[in-house]
């Protein structure tokens, strides 16, 4: 963010930046509560303005009127592929390389297990100890399930990952953007390094998809998973997605043999024959209501220049860090995210010893972020609905919380189940 001639940034400067923002009109696509600055889209995106109409139509005109005929009449049967095709451009992937299904956890299990079946004597699953816990839990559960074959999980620090790519490693799993700090990993380089060692990598793109341009094909990525409820705005618990490079799909044998992944599900055969392409990764009956909501959330990206989206995301994060330096000095905050926008996703985290009550007090003021142990306040900057003035106002509210010691209120110190 370039400072005005005098070097002092004002709220009026940011109002002008909002007026000239090429993405400003996309804010109108979202339902946002009046008086709330929403900086938690990295955890749960807001609904689109058309979401209610879409779900209402599905309930009334599809399920409510056409009942089971809707599987054919309204294309429910192909909805996982249709939604996957909408996600694909955000990932730099082909439409036939992405499918919407299940959750990040289940999709990660499918890919790790499928890849373990192909790796012969290699039996180690490699992961970083700082990875999102559910990814580690899935890897741990899978290796215990296969423990009799010598399969085991090896956890390393991020800086030790490359050195751990030994001849016994069967598959690795990495997350592109760290959920705590927003630090971004070099997806292209690490994929190439792992390939050179003969190790396929399954990337978790939960904090990447919809937050900035991802170029899976260009970067040589072969496998990835991600969720639909953060930057993709699909709603709480929205289905996840699974990506597999086109040329590798037929060689993958997922261990979860579901009827929707069968080549001819309505032949009701006793034996399993996997469907061609990405449909083989389906398991049970698709959750149509959730998939329809996700499809509607993805419509918010129609006409969006992803490079312009990333430029704004970077500018919002840079602005937040600058204002934090200028307006929060002396209040005990410390940036936990990289200052260089090229090294972070669309998220900035601040450390504070009283992080939890500070965040609760901030939320009470209408500025919504979230908290992660032990001391991180997280702020997501989704460029389609956030304004530059929102960043100014959010930092101002954070300053007021500390200046007035509002976080000392006992009600803000009681821990909620979800932080």
Domain chopping of the chain, boundaries = 11-30+305-412, 53-301
Contacts (Cβ under 8 Å, ≥6 apart) of 266: none
* Catalytic positions: 132, 204, 229-230, 378
pLDDT value of position 148: 78
Mean pLDDT of 369-377: 97
- Confidence class for position 379, pLDDT limits 50, 70, 90: very high
- Radius of gyration of the chain measured on its C-alpha atoms: 22
- Confidence class for position 149, pLDDT limits 50, 70, 90: confident
Evaluate if residue 5 carries a pLDDT over 50.
no
Contacts (Cβ under 8 Å, ≥6 apart) of 130: 157, 158, 178, 180
pLDDT value of position 147: 83
260 CB burial (10 A radius; 0-12, 13-18, 19+): middle
What tens digit of pLDDT does each residue of 210-224 get?
999 999 999 999 999
Whole-Å CA distances, 62 to 66, 79, 82, 219, 295: 5, 14, 17, 41, 16
Whose structure tokens read 């089971």?
68
- Confidence class for position 2, pLDDT limits 50, 70, 90: low
Cβ proximity of 273 and 262 under 8 Å: yes
What tens digit of pLDDT does each residue of 156-188 get?
999 999 999 999 999 999 999 999 999 999 999
Distance CA 173, CA 165 (A): 12
Instruction: Write down the mean pLDDT value for the chain.
Output: 95
- Confidence class for position 3, pLDDT limits 50, 70, 90: low
Phi/psi class of residue 114: alpha, beta or left (left: φ > 0; alpha: ψ in -120 to 50)?
alpha
CATH number of this structure's domain 53-301: 3.40.640.10
Please tell us whether the domain made up of 11-30+305-412 is placed in CATH 3.90.1150.10. Answer: yes
């Amino acid at each position: 963010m370039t400072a005005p001639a005098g070097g002092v940034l004002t709220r009026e400067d940011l109002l002008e930046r909002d007026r000239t923002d090429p993405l400003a009109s996309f804010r109108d696509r979202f339902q946002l509560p009046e008086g709330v600055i929403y900086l938690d889209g990295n955890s749960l995106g807001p609904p689109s303005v058309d979401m209610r109409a879409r779900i209402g139509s599905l309930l009334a005109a599809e399920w409510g009127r056409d009942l089971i005929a809707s599987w054919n009449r309204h294309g429910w049967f192909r909805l996982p592929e249709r939604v996957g095709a909408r996600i694909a451009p955000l990932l730099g992937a082909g439409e036939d390389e992405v499918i919407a299904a299940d959750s990040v956890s289940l999709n990660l299990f499918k890919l790790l297990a499928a890849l373990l079946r192909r790796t012969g004597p290699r039996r180690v699953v490699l992961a970083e100890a700082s990875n999102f816990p559910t990814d580690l839990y899935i890897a741990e559960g899978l290796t215990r399930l296969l423990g009799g074959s010598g399969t085991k999980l090896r956890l390393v620090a991020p800086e030790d990952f490359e050195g751990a790519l030994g001849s016994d490693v069967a598959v690795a799993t990495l997350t592109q953007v760290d959920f705590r700090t927003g630090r971004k990993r070099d997806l292209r380089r690490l994929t190439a390094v792992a390939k050179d060692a003969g190790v396929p990598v399954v990337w978790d793109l939960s904090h990447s998809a919809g937050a900035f341009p991802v170029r899976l094909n260009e970067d040589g990525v072969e496998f990835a998973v991600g969720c639909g409820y953060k930057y993709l705005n699909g709603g709480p618990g929205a289905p996840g997605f699974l990506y597999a490079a086109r040329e590798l799909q037929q060689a993958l044998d997922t261990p979860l043999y579901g009827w929707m992944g069968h080549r001819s599900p309505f032949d009701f055969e006793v034996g399993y024959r996997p469907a061609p392409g990405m449909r083989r990764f389906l398991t049970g009956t698709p959750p149509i209501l959730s998939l329809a909501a996700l499809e509607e959330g993805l419509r918010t990206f129609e006409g969006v220049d992803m490079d312009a989206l990333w430029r704004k995301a970077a500018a919002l994060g840079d602005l937040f860090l600058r204002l934090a330096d200028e307006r929060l000095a002396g209040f005990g905050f410390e940036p936990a995210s990289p200052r260089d926008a090229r090294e972070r996703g669309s998220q900035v985290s601040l450390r504070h010893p009283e992080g939890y009550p500070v965040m609760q007090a901030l939320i009470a003021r209408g500025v919504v972020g979230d908290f992660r142990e032990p001391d991180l306040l997280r702020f997501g900057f989704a460029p389609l609905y956030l304004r530059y003035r929102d960043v100014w106002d959010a930092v101002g509210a954070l300053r007021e919380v500390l200046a007035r010691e509002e976080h000392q209120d006992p009600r803000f110190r009681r821990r909620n189940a979800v932080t």
